[in-house]
Amino acid sequence: MTELFTVLVGLLLLNIVVGLARVLRGPSAIDRMLASEMFSTSAVAILLLMAFILDKHELLDVALVLALLAALTVVTFVIRVWSELEAPKSDNDPGDTLK
Amino acid sequence: MIYLALAGVLFVIGLHGLFLAGHPLRKILSLNVLSAAVFLLLVALAREADPLDAVPHAIVLTGIVVSVSATAVALVLLVRLSPPKRDSKEVTRKEGR
Amino acid sequence: MSLNHWLGAVLVISGLPFFFLGTLGLLRFPDVYTRLHALAKSDNVALGFVCLGLAVYSGSLITGLKLLLIWLLMLVASAAGASLIGRTALARGIKPWGV
Amino acid sequence: MGGVVLVFDVLLAAALIWLAWQATHTPGLFRAVISFIIFGLLMALAWVRLEAPDIALAEAAIGAGATGALLLSALGRLAVTDEAGTPWQERADLTFWIPAGLALLGLLTLAAWYLPSPGLGQEVQASLPDSGVQNPVTAVLLNFRAFDTLLEIGVLLLATIAIWSLGPMPMPGAQAIISPVLPALGRILFPMFALVSIYLLWRGSHAPGGAFSAGAVIGAGGILSILAGARPWLTGSAYGPWRVLLSLGLSAMLAVALGVIVLGQPFFAYPTHLAGTIVLLLELAAGLSIAMSLVALYLAGQPPTHWDGESLRQ
């Protein structure tokens, strides 16, 4: 069964790598932020599966810490970066000056 | 083995960025990449030992905390040194200058 | 290979498509709101399946509770993040696609 | 099986290199910062692959959590969020950099080759029973090489002093959005942060965890509750509790280091029968100090003497 889980972990990592395209393309800051949120979910899943593959249950604690801190980055971003920027001027503006 | 090579490549990227980056924030990021490369090298080497060598792990743990405090000091210095925000005196007042 | 192993593996595998769908949404959807919608739901369903599957697989109550906690934390983080992002995006005047 | 693991390693390495490149060499400061945050996240996976769960815990808490928050709030305070032109200076000489980089790589490889390969694993294993804990990393940190940890706590304290000496903390701007989600998030999550960090501290003596991860987790919790607009719990005159808690770790470690001399032991050599208790107490003190320092580093300046919620919002 661990072989199966190893394949799944590989697929999840591939998922992250494909998702990196969103970080590359943007277009605005919030899209990149969303991608990073997606990666933290995938990383938690990878850690959980790895805990069972290696039969090391302390990795569950790593996943727990990661899940606990998942909110921190997004909240900091929205409050400290995004809200401080000027609002877009016109309707054609993509809505974000921050790349 | 892959991780040793990874550490080497990251080291070169970080060093290049540290020397040649334009913006100070980028230099701080490069410094962090550089320290990550060094940590990676230490831990990848520790893995070769049997039983697992705990000393590099402890050193890296110490190093992560030191590097985050260095980063924080550098960031505060950067924010204090950079010109205040364009939009109005309001921000200046808020920043307490 | 006992029954709970099989059941757990099936549950974990059934979570994977949701991860891929989330990434597909992230990459293909046209604007912030739709991407937010894709991520906030499908990734959490996927993680829920993985957690449930691993809990069944391990067959131990403590591990199961810890997995449940991890899932709940990710749910809280993702719900709060989605609400903050959506609200701020609307307040900043980013137009929803197709409206 | 082996093939899949190899593919995993190569994918992870490629993603890490790409992200490091993004963080240091592509235009757009925000893009660089977000790439670095994702870099930290994937580094946690790399630590797991390298069988270092202690470091993975610290990286998950510090690298992916606290550093990200620090970088993002610094970015929010910067006036210029984008650089003009290429992000690196154009005088880059490829004729110098390519050979220099290759030479450096070669030297690193050589150095790695000549390092004594068995390491100190045997010695640590042999003296583990005397250390009072079962987790070798905790034993090294707080017993065998406690001196390093002493200096490290000193560095944290120094960083805090340096930041405080730069002036009062900048007040956050008025919140653009009033959301009911934020206070609720702070209320729900902070007890969870406290619970998890106590759990990690307790686990530290026999499994990965310990003062560093516990302190980092509760520090991140403090940052989150400050972001959520929670009135900081450290009210009181002349920021008394700040100073006490910040210096607790250093003073406790110094007290232990000098105290054992009185007992007739060398510097930092604990008596074997007391080692377990001493390590636990030191962990508690160091964890509290690390947590407080992280929050202080995040505040980016000296907190006001009298802290009342109203003036903070204005």
ipTM: 0.89
Does D85 have pLDDT greater than 70? no
Question: Is D120 within a domain?
Answer: no
Query: Is residue D68 domain-resident?
Result: yes
Confidence of residue A90 (pLDDT cuts 50, 70, 90): very low
Question: Which chain D residue's Cα is nearest to B18?
Answer: D24
C13 belongs to a structural domain = yes
Interface test with D, best of B45, B62, B86, B94 (most D CBs within 10 A): B62
pLDDT at A88 over 70: no
Does one domain contain both D104 and D174? no
- pLDDT at residue number C48: 92
pLDDT of residue D31: 84
- State how many domains chain C has: 1
Q: Which residues of A touch D7 (CB under 8 A)?
A: 10
Whether residue D141 sits in one domain with residue D33: no
Q: What is the spatial distance between Cα B76 and Cα D292, in angstroms, rounded to a whole number?
A: 17
Domains detected in chain B: 2-82 (1.10.287)
Residues D103, D143, single domain; the answer is no
- Mean pLDDT, range A40-56, rounded to an integer: 89
DSSP state of A81: I
Q: Which chains touch D (3 or more CB pairs under 8 A)?
A: A, B, C
Per-residue pLDDT tens digits for D218-271: 888 888 888 877 655 555 445 567 777 788 888 888 888 888 788 777 777 777
User: Looking at C50-59, D98-107, D117-126, D139-148, which range is the least confident one?
Assistant: D117-126
User: What is the distance in angstroms between the Cα of D39 and the nearest Cα belonging to chain A?
Assistant: 10
* Residue D154: exposure state from Cβ atoms within 10 A (0-12, 13-18, ≥19): middle
Q: Which of D36, D55, D160 sits opposite B57 (nearest CB)?
A: D55
* Separation of alpha carbons A21 and D213, rounded Å: 32
Q: What domains, with CATH codes, occur in chain A?
A: 2-85 (1.10.287)
pLDDT, residue B41, reads 86
Find the mean pLDDT for residues D155-177: 76
Nearest to C27 among A21, A42, A88 (CB): A21
Boundaries of domain holding D31: 1-78+90-114
Query: To the nearest whole angstrom, how far is the Cα of C85 from the nearest Cα of chain A?
Result: 7
**Interface touch C88/D182, C-beta < 8 Å:** no
CB-CB neighbors (< 8 A) of A34 in chain C: 26, 32, 35-36, 39, 85
Average pLDDT, chain D: 77
**Within this chain, do residues D54 and D137 fall inside the same structural domain, yes or no?**
no
% of chain D with per-residue pLDDT over 90: 3
CB contact under 8 A, D73 and A80: yes
Contacts of D207 in chain A (CB under 8 A): 58
Q: How far C74 CA lies from chain D's nearest CA (Å)?
A: 11
Expressed as residue numbers, the domain containing C81 is 3-91
Q: Is the pLDDT of residue D6 over 80?
A: yes
Answer yes or no: is C96 within a domain. no
Q: Is residue C98 part of a domain?
A: no
Residue B71: band (very low, low, confident or very high) from pLDDT cuts 50, 70, 90: very high
Interface test with D, best of C73, C78, C85, C94 (most D CBs within 10 A): C73
Nearest to A77 among D57, D72, D176 (CB): D72
